[in-house]
Amino acid sequence: MPGNGHAGGASASADDAVRTTTLDNGIRVVTEQMDSVRSVSTGVWVGVGARDESEALSGASHFLEHLLFKGTAGRTAQDIAESVDAVGGEMNAFTTKEYTAYYTRLPATSVGFGLALLADVISAPAFRPDEVDAERQVILEEILMNEDTPDDRVHTLVFEARYPDHPLGREVLGSPETIEAMTRDEIAGFHGHHYRPENLVVAAAGLLDHDEVVAHVAAGFGALPAGSRPERSAPSAPPLSEVVVRRPTEQVHLAMAWPGLRHEDPDRYALSVANHILGGGTASRLFQEVREKRGLAYAVYSSPSSYVDTGVVLAYLGTAPSRMVEAVTVVDDVIAGLVADGITDKELDVARGYLEGSLVLGLEDSSSRMGRIGSNVCIRGKVTPIEKHVERIRAVTHEDVRGVLQRVFGGERTLAAVGPVDADDLPH
């Protein structure tokens, strides 16, 4: 029966340390036991982000994230901060295009307190009008800070051009116009619509007992009424080929985007290997060709982003305006060489070794473990064991990499620039 907060059946993951339970109202609880630590990290992962907002409510997910820390029906913002400080813990949150996460890291003895606090913050926000207006000013300053940072601005710009007329193309922060216009009731309505049990994942990792965590979650979140997850539509408008914002900066900041892969694409492991070789580190081809050999840029890299129904591969660099055409030409030549000739045995071995090592080394504390299992269940509905990820990385072949390079870079490129240049200055 939905909404009574009782736990349904628990199911063990392929990794025995990871267990999942779904409450009767739809909340999914996932834990990972770590007997070697003395902390517990807990998090609430809400399956709503910038892509789930209307144009008028652009920035609502992030605005809401800020407001939930401003106080509940029974706690002020200072009460929340002092209670976390009193046990030597930490509490924070972040917003992405597809989910919002609220998390704590506390001593293992405080797991009940951490989950009760998150439940209060998530389910009983006060939305006091004076706090809404005060936080509105904080977010407006955050937007201005982003606008004043050209390398941040060019990333925003390339997404706008890549996904025109779609929420994936809008900035997570929203715009000054939407934040100024957003009312307290609209934010509260957004919370009531999206912060439903079916859309919530509660994750915990550390020195814990799964059944105890489930009991705390049922007590704190069990009264939430059942609801549904947001419906999402894939982008349909064709991307723009280029976009320029002229600014009197010392460098011109360039971001290039190609079609990427969705979360569950079978080629995603090959793309991770390909990206590391292209621009994922100091041994990458872009870093070596653009920075080390030619001195065209201080910072140059590539990175893939995946969503439930689409994806994008980005390359970024900052260079002197007089060398912009040369820099873009070198990037194009590096990519063309990879697509045409493939990769070397050494590059494949190094990339696979890096990805395997960074995966293992990045999961040594309770916070990273909680983040992994929480985001996995929120995005994919399940936790893939680390060993399975390692197996798939090791299985990537030359042919796999070449195939995914052809998929990605066979698509149309979008070029965004911020700096002392005009559209006519861009290479065509």
Q: In Å, how far from its chain's centre is CA 47? A: 12
Other CB atoms closer than 10 Å to residue 61's CB: what's the count? 28
- Burial class of 346 by CB neighbour count within 10 A (0 to 12, 13 to 18, 19+): exposed
Q: How far apart are CA 136 and CA 175, in angstroms?
A: 11
| H or E element at residue 90 | strand 90-95
Q: In Å, how far from its chain's centre is CA 282? A: 23
Q: Which one-letter DSSP state was computed for residue 71?
A: B
Respond yes or no: is residue 65 known to be catalytic.
yes
Give the pairing of strands 39-46 and 100-107: antiparallel
What is the tally of helices (H) and strands (E) in the chain?
Answer: 15, 12
Q: Which residue has the tokens 């990499």?
A: 401
Q: In Å, how far from its chain's centre is CA 188? A: 24
Q: Residue 379 has which token pair? A: 């995005």
CA angle 266, 267, 269 (to 5 degrees): 100
Starting from the edge strand earliest in sequence, which strands make up the sheet with 18-23, in order?
7-12, 18-23, 28-33, 200-206, 39-46, 100-107, 90-95
| H or E element at residue 203 | strand 200-206
**Where does 176-290 have alpha helices with state H?**
176-181, 184-194, 210-221, 268-279, 285-286
* Residue 7: φ, ψ to 5°: -85, 135
Of 32, 53, 65, 160, which is the active-site residue? Answer: 65
Query: Do the beta carbons of residue 243 and residue 296 sit within 8 Å?
Result: no
Q: How far apart are CA 283 and CA 262, in angstroms?
A: 26
Catalytic residues: 65
